Amino acid sequence: MPKINGVFGVHKLNLAYAVLAYVVANSRVASVAEIAEHFECSEGEIVSVIHGLNNADSTAAQDYTGAKVFFDIDELEEEGMVVLNDYSEELTVPRLTTQQTAAISAGLQMLKQLSGFEHNDDIDALLSALHSGSGGMSPDTIAIEPTKADSDLETLREAILDGFAISCDYINGKGERSSGRIIEPLRLESRDNFWYLKGFCHSHNEVRNFRLDAMDKVVVTTEPITEEHKALPLDGPIYQPGADAIDVIIDVEPEAYQVLSDYAASYTAKPTGTIRASIKVTSLLTIPPMVASYGGAVRVIEPKEAKELVRDYALKALGRGSETGAEVTE
């Protein structure tokens, strides 16, 4: 007999009653496969019923059982077992799944690495309390190690707080490295997964934006940040192309609209939702990885050289060499 796959309305309510009664009768433990076989339903339907019971608020749960129920979601998703831990109305404190515990633990450990939090006893107490109810997961199960960018971020924070300039090597958009640049750090800003420093650059005698992942050999100097430079306005977009920047025309689908603000684009909307935009870049070499990161939601229209670079980048990623002379279409 084919198994039922799709139960709705009062039939789903009756199934929920029956599944709960079956689990209670089996010492509050049963496998999804066993329950599905017993009620001649698909395993997916049983999982759906369990999630429905588990996620319902107190009022909704009473529609099913007259009391709040709690199934172990870790056991359900990882072992295929339905384990009823509690169905008392007095259960008011929600329990965290293993995934939720891991995510919160990682966040607290990252917080400990920030200046001013590294010796915070409250964070250690929170970690201990979090893991005390997480089964076998101990506080040291997840270890967060600072990356180089994290280390530079901390160095820059200290430089801003202490009021001293920094020295660093910097790789610009063209891939050119300048060594020993002196920058008076004024503000740190984050954008998606990147950190930027707004600082007064001695080489160009103006405030500029620097990506932390393009900085190397960051060292705090003994040269103080001047009061005059501290008072300089820092508003304005993070991305500021130079006077010799190259114009690139792109079509952008809705899921990639973030690129418009990242590059301070000028654009007009199309009826389809696709936007044709003009952006300025210091080097066309920055275009291929940007386009690739949006998985086809960004298409280069012109210049032709940029389209060729994107094509060659894609071919290389596929393990093929560039096809010299091949036609590049939109």
3-class DSSP state for residue 41?
A: strand
267-309 pLDDT tens trace: 876 666 788 899 888 888 888 888 888 888 899 999 999 999 9
Q: How far apart are the first and last CA of the chain?
A: 53
> Residue 237 falls within a domain, yes or no?
no
Domain containing 277 equals 246-317
Asked if 114 and 167 sit in the same domain, the reply is no
Residue 140 in any domain: the answer is no
The residue from 204, 230, 256 where one domain ends is: 230
Looking at residue 283, its pLDDT comes to 82
* Residues 240 and 209: beta-carbon distance below 8 Å: yes
Q: How far apart are CA 295 and CA 90, in angstroms?
A: 49
CA distance 104 to 127: 9
Token pair for 85: 């831990």
Q: At what angle do helices 43-55 and 32-39 cross, to 10 degrees?
A: 110
Q: Find, among 50, 73, 69, 72, the residue nearest to 58 by Cα.
A: 69
Is residue 212 domain-shared with residue 278, that is, in the same domain? no
Distinct helix (H) and strand (E) counts, the chain: 12, 12
pLDDT band at 266 (very low <50, low <70, confident <90, very high): confident
For residues 169 and 191, state if they share a domain.
yes
Q: Are both 29 and 67 inside the same structural domain?
A: yes
Residue among 219, 234, 151, 140 at smallest CA distance from 179: 219
Work out the burial of residue 54: count CB atoms within 10 Å of its CB; fewer than 13 is exposed, 13-18 middle, 19 or more buried. Answer: middle
Domain-embedded: residue 143? no
Q: Which of 307, 261, 264, 265 is nearest to 284 (CA)?
A: 307
CA angle 267, 269, 274 (to 5 degrees): 105
DSSP 8-26: -HHHHHHHHHHHHHHHHHT
How many structural domains are present in the chain?
A: 4
Per the domain annotation, does 1 fall within a domain?
Answer: no
User: Mean pLDDT across the stretch 189-200?
Assistant: 79
At 222, is the pLDDT very low, low, confident or very high (cuts 50, 70, 90)? very high
Same domain assignment for residues 212 and 153: yes
Q: Quick one: 182 and 123 in the same domain?
A: no
**pTM listed for this prediction:** 0.45
Is the same domain home to 209 and 257?
no
In this structure, are residues 224 and 165 in contact, taking their beta carbons and an 8 Å threshold?
Answer: yes
Assess whether 15 and 60 both reside in one domain: yes
Q: Is residue 67 part of a domain?
A: yes
* Domain-embedded: residue 180: yes
Q: Are residues 75 and 114 in the same domain?
A: no
What whole-number distance in Å separates Cα of residue 138 and Cα of residue 283? Answer: 48
Which helix (H) or strand (E) element contains residue 219?
strand 215-224
- CATH code for position 55: 1.10.10
Look up residue 95 and give its amino acid: R
Report d(CA 249, CA 268) in Å as an integer: 12
Q: Which residue would you say has higher pLDDT here, 174 or 75?
A: 75
Residues 120 and 77 in one domain: no
The answer on pLDDT for 60 being more than 60 is no
Beta pairing class for 266-269 and 81-86: unpaired
pLDDT at 282: 80
- Is 191 within the bounds of a domain? yes
Q: For position 179, which CATH number holds?
A: 2.30.30
Residues 160 and 205 in one domain: yes
Spatial CA neighbour of 185 closest among 214, 151, 152: 152
CATH number at residue 253: 3.30.70.240
Q: Which tens digits make up the pLDDT trace of 82-107? A: 888 765 544 444 566 677 777 787 77
Closest CA to 13 of 65, 59, 89, 67: 65
Judge if 153 and 212 occupy the same domain: yes
* 156 within domain boundaries: yes
Q: Output 36 or 321, whichever has higher pLDDT.
A: 36
Helix H or strand E encompassing 298: strand 298-302
Instruction: Give pLDDT tens digits for 304-318.
Output: 999 999 999 888 888
Nearest CA to 307 out of 247, 248, 266, 234 is that of: 248
